[in-house]
Structure 1
Amino acid sequence: MANVDALAHAPANEPSIEDCKEQVRRVVQSTTFRNAATLQLLFQFLTDKTIGGAAESLKEYTIGVEALGRKPDFDPKLDPIVRVQSHRLRVKLKEYYDVEGQLDLVLIQFPKGHYVPTFEAMPASLPALNEPEPAVDDATETATEKITVQEAQPTRSVWGFLVAALTAVAMIALGYWFGASRADKRFSVTGAAVAVPNEGIVESFWARFLGNDASPVIAYPDAVFLLDDSNDLFRFRHGAIDSRGALVDPHVAHEFAANPDIVAKAGQLYYENGYTGTGELEAVGMLAGLLGRMGAKPIMKSSRDVTPDDLNQHNVILLGSPFQNPAVAQLMAAGDFSYSNPDQHHEQWRAQILDAHPVDGEKSTYGTERDQTSKVLTTDYSLITIAPGVTPGRWIAIVGGLDTKGTEGAAMFVTSKHGVERLNSVLDGMGSGKELLPFQALVRVQLAKGYQVLGADLISVHRLHPAKAEPEAAIPSH
Structure 2
Amino acid sequence: MTDAVSDCNVGYKKEVERLRAAGVAGRNGRLRDLFDYLAERGPDAESASQSDIAVAVFGEAQNDADDATVRVYVHRLRKKIDDYYSRHEPSSDALRLEIPSGIYGLRPMRRAGASDVSSLSQGAVVPRRLVAIALVALAILCAGAFGLGRSLERPGAASALWQPLLESERPVLFVLGDYYLFGEIDPLIPDEGRLIRDFRVNSSEDLLRLQEAEPDRYAVAEDFGLNYLPFSTSYALSAIAPVLEGNGKTATVIAASDLRPDMLNRFDIVYVGLLSGLGPLEQQVFAGSGFRLGETYDELIDRESRQIYASDEARRIAAPVFYRDYAYLARFIAPGGAKVIVVASERETGLRSLGPIVASAELPEKVAEVVADGAPFEALWQVTGQQGADLSDRLILARTRR
Q: What is residue 323 of structure 2 aligned with on the other side?
A: 378
Q: What is residue 238 of structure 2 aligned with on the other side?
A: 285
TM-score after normalising by structure 1: 0.49
TM-score after normalising by structure 2: 0.57
Runs (5+) with no aligned partner, structure 2 = 1-79, 89-128, 186-191
Q: What is residue 376 of structure 2 aligned with on the other side?
A: 438
Query: CA offset at residue 340 of structure 1?
Result: 1.7
Q: What is residue 367 of structure 1 aligned with on the other side?
A: 310
Q: Does the 8 Å contact 1:383/1:401 carry over to 2?
A: yes
Q: Does the 8 Å contact 1:222/1:275 carry over to 2?
A: yes
Q: What is residue 263 of structure 2 aligned with on the other side?
A: 310
| Candidates 298, 308, 316, aligned match of 2:251 | 298
Structure 1 residues 171, 415: CA separation in 2 closer, same or farther (over 3 Å shift)? farther
Alignment RMSD, CA only? 3.6
Deviation track 1:65-89 (CA, whole Å, cap 9, x = no partner) reads: xxxxxxxxxxxxxxxxxxxxxxxxx
Query: CA offset at residue 228 of structure 1?
Result: 2.6
Specify the SS of the correspondent of 2:325. Answer: strand
Aligned counterparts of 1:373 and 1:321: Cα–Cα separation in 2: 19
Q: What is residue 181 of structure 1 aligned with on the other side?
A: 153
Specify the SS of the correspondent of 1:335. Answer: coil
Specify the SS of the correspondent of 2:179. Answer: coil
Structure in which a larger fraction of residues adopt helix: 2
Structure 1 residues 233, 426: CA separation in 2 closer, same or farther (over 3 Å shift)? same
Alignment of 1:66-105 (within 5 A): none
Query: CA offset at residue 320 of structure 1?
Result: 2.8
Deviation track 1:42-93 (CA, whole Å, cap 9, x = no partner) reads: xxxxxxxxxxxxxxxxxxxxxxxxxxxxxxxxxxxxxxxxxxxxxxxxxx9x
Q: What is residue 453 of structure 1 aligned with on the other side?
A: 390
| Candidates 177, 195, 203, aligned match of 1:241 | 203
Aligned counterparts of 1:158 and 1:355: Cα–Cα separation in 2: 40
Alignment of 1:223-372 (within 5 A): 223-229=179-185, 230-238=192-200, 241-242=203-204, 250=211, 252=213, 254-255=215-216, 260=217, 267-270=220-223, 272-332=225-285, 333-341=287-295, 351-358=298-305, 364-369=307-312, 371=316
Q: Does the 8 Å contact 1:223/1:325 carry over to 2?
A: no
Deviation track 1:211-256 (CA, whole Å, cap 9, x = no partner) reads: 2246310111221222134451122212573269x8787564655x
Specify the SS of the correspondent of 1:181. Answer: coil
Which structure has the larger Rg over C-alpha atoms?
2
Deviation track 1:331-386 (CA, whole Å, cap 9, x = no partner) reads: 313221122225xxxx7xxx21111123xxxx710111355994866220121111
Q: What is residue 364 of structure 2 aligned with on the other side?
A: 421
Deviation track 1:377-430 (CA, whole Å, cap 9, x = no partner) reads: 6220121111112234x3111222111332222223211345x133544426xx
Aligned counterparts of 1:437 and 1:171: Cα–Cα separation in 2: 37
Aligned counterparts of 1:227 and 1:463: Cα–Cα separation in 2: 43
Aligned counterparts of 1:235 and 1:158: Cα–Cα separation in 2: 14
Q: Does the 8 Å contact 2:316/2:323 carry over to 1?
A: yes
Q: What is residue 87 of structure 1 aligned with on the other side?
A: none
Aligned counterparts of 1:228 and 1:372: Cα–Cα separation in 2: 27
Q: Does the 8 Å contact 2:256/2:277 carry over to 1?
A: no
Aligned counterparts of 2:290 and 2:240: Cα–Cα separation in 1: 26
Q: Tell me which amino acid in the other structure corresponds to 2:150.
A: F
Aligned counterparts of 1:375 and 1:354: Cα–Cα separation in 2: 28
Q: What is residue 220 of structure 1 aligned with on the other side?
A: 176
Deviation track 1:11-60 (CA, whole Å, cap 9, x = no partner) reads: xxxxxxxxxxxxxxxxxxxxxxxxxxxxxxxxxxxxxxxxxxxxxxxxxx
Specify the SS of the correspondent of 2:332. Answer: strand
| Identical residues among aligned pairs (%) | 17
Structure 1 residues 177, 209: CA separation in 2 closer, same or farther (over 3 Å shift)? same
Q: Does the 8 Å contact 2:329/2:342 carry over to 1?
A: yes
Q: What is residue 162 of structure 2 aligned with on the other side?
A: 206
Deviation track 1:88-139 (CA, whole Å, cap 9, x = no partner) reads: xxxx9xx99xx89xxxxxxxxxxxxxxxxxxxxxxxxxxxxxxxxxxxxxxx
Q: Does the 8 Å contact 1:243/1:271 carry over to 2?
A: no
Q: What is residue 387 of structure 1 aligned with on the other side?
A: 332
Aligned counterparts of 1:440 and 1:338: Cα–Cα separation in 2: 13
Aligned counterparts of 2:141 and 2:152: Cα–Cα separation in 1: 16
Deviation track 1:283-328 (CA, whole Å, cap 9, x = no partner) reads: 2222223322222231000112123342112210122344233123
Aligned counterparts of 1:421 and 1:373: Cα–Cα separation in 2: 31
Q: Does the 8 Å contact 1:377/1:447 carry over to 2?
A: yes
Structure in which a larger fraction of residues adopt strand: 2
Structure 1 residues 422, 224: CA separation in 2 closer, same or farther (over 3 Å shift)? same
Aligned counterparts of 1:372 and 1:298: Cα–Cα separation in 2: 34
Q: Tell me which amino acid in the other structure corresponds to 1:444.
A: Q
Runs (5+) with no aligned partner, structure 1 = 1-91, 101-156, 184-198, 466-478
Q: Does the 8 Å contact 1:379/1:447 carry over to 2?
A: yes
Q: What is residue 472 of structure 1 aligned with on the other side?
A: none
Q: Does the 8 Å contact 2:317/2:323 carry over to 1?
A: no
Structure 1 residues 164, 366: CA separation in 2 closer, same or farther (over 3 Å shift)? farther
